[in-house]
Amino acid sequence: MLYLNKICISLLEIQSLIKKKELHNKIRSTMNFAKYLSVIAISMLKFAGGPLTGLAIKLSWIETAICSVVGMMITVSLIVFSGDFIRNIFRKDKPKKFTKMTRYGVKIRQKFGLAGIAFLTPLLFTPPVGAALSMAFRYDKKAIILQMFISAVAWAIVQTLFFFYVKDLIFS
């Protein structure tokens, strides 16, 4: 009887450990998801912040690059597909004010077109500014999405590998 009691207790302990392991796996997957969301959220506002965040929270370079692209494209898509609505809200009869950034955007547009704006969006402009400039110049929405995606993929790979390489140089 005592032997059977010990076996039952051992089985309950094993079952408890299995549940703890499942809980540990759920917590781990939730933490990874939170890491991905952090990189995505930062990349939505400032593209270079995504690779730096991914480096800081110890994601792999490919995970960091993918999350950075996703973050930028969420912002670009939101602005492009709600651009007409946003433009109507902010449209006033006031004369337009030209800032240094808008003048710079106009120069880029005149020299390089949409490809130039998309190319410089991750570097100089932020994703919201680059998408808003593209919409302000009335480029085709599909072309904006495609050009921004190509630019985001290219710059995500370059910036992420650069930051990871510099980290290895400094800390090794």
pLDDT tens by residue, 50-92: 999 999 999 999 999 999 999 999 999 999 998 777 777 766 6
Token pair 């710079």 in the structure block, residue = 104
Number of neighbours of residue 80 by Cβ within 10 angstroms: 22
Question: pLDDT tens-digit profile of 90-147?
Answer: 666 565 666 776 677 677 778 888 998 899 899 888 999 899 888 888 889 999 999 9
Inter-residue contact 165 to 97 (CB < 8 Å): no
8 Å CB contact between 79 and 171: no
Whether residue 1 has pLDDT greater than 60: no
> CA 109 to CA 81: how far, in whole Å?
21
Helix, strand, or coil (residue 1)? coil
- Report the C-alpha gap between 91 and 122 in whole angstroms: 27
Residue with tokens 């492009």: 80
Which residues does 123 contact at the CB level (< 8 Å), separation at least 6?
47, 48, 155
pLDDT band for position 154 (50/70/90)? very high
pTM for the whole thing? Answer: 0.77
Could you tell me the CA-to-CA distances from 121 to 31, 64, 87, 137, 172 in Å, in that order?
30, 18, 20, 15, 32
The domain containing residue 91 runs over which residues? Answer: 2-171
pLDDT in tens, 18-47: 666 666 666 677 778 889 999 999 999 999
Q: Calculate the CA 155 to chain-centre distance.
A: 12
Domain count of the chain?
Answer: 1
